[in-house]
Chain A
């Protein structure tokens, strides 16, 4: 796996994250489509995710929760906006209550684009926040432990990693 690009645009409040995998687009697509595979990568390492509901069709809803080291759970939902298998997936991701019902706050809009290239697959994830407070809330809820590694990475920003 190679991270080809990781760019934060603070004006647009987007993260563009581009990786390349040694697999076919169909195989990478399964990582999103199959809830058993999705729950192995969606949560941070210390906050594994479970997807009791995953309706992977346009207009479909998913309900997931992530379980922290102390056993506490953070619930979330997805709503699938558009699907073009195995090329493009557009979805909203927001916080939910324990029953999977959306709670107040703006969802994050995610667009995953998957392209085959010379036997490898490039995956571009464009994540868009409605406002900075939403990003802050995401960092606040559930991600604390998983984000521990992010601290002290001042060298990255000084080296222009976000350029």
Chain B
């Protein structure tokens, strides 16, 4: 089972780093952009209402979590997302959220039976 494999691939520190990295909306947006294309930090900074240094810091957090990596492109360094690392993180978060979606659906089914009962009584 893949979730099980996931648990073994990541140690506690990895999980903490990934959770923290994805907790921030700007960082999620950076991941989203760099999944599509490579961007230099300067190019990314132009897209957010914050300083170059702040964007650089966000990129560093993502890099430490293994979600993005930097490589040289000519004289500049460009940022791109690591799809496999993101898939792993997304699975962990989604799995717990999905449990609650399933619970809510089951609750809904139980409540729907009340309506059935009311119709039968009539």
Contact = CB atoms under 8 A, between A and B. Distances in A.
Interface residues of B, number: 49
Nearest to B93: A8
Interface in A1-41: 1, 3, 6, 8-11, 13, 15, 17, 19, 21-23, 27-28, 31, 37, 40-41
A45 B102 contact: yes
A10 B25 CA distance: 11
Given A44-B102, A162-B28, A135 B22 contact: no
How many chain A residues sit at the interface, stated as a range, is 35 or more
Please report whether the interface of chain A is mostly helix, strand, loop or mixed according to DSSP. Answer: mixed
A1 B105 contact: yes
Contact of A153 (B20, B21, B22, B91): B91
Nearest to B100: A17
Given A23-B114, A31-B107, A140 B4 contact: yes
Contacts of B108: 1, 21
Interface of B: 1-4, 6-7, 10, 12, 15-16, 18-23, 25, 28-29, 31-32, 35, 83, 86-87, 89-111, 114
Interface of A: 1, 3, 6, 8-11, 13, 15, 17, 19, 21-23, 27-28, 31, 37, 40-42, 44-45, 125, 127, 131-133, 135-136, 138-140, 143-154, 156-158, 160, 162-163
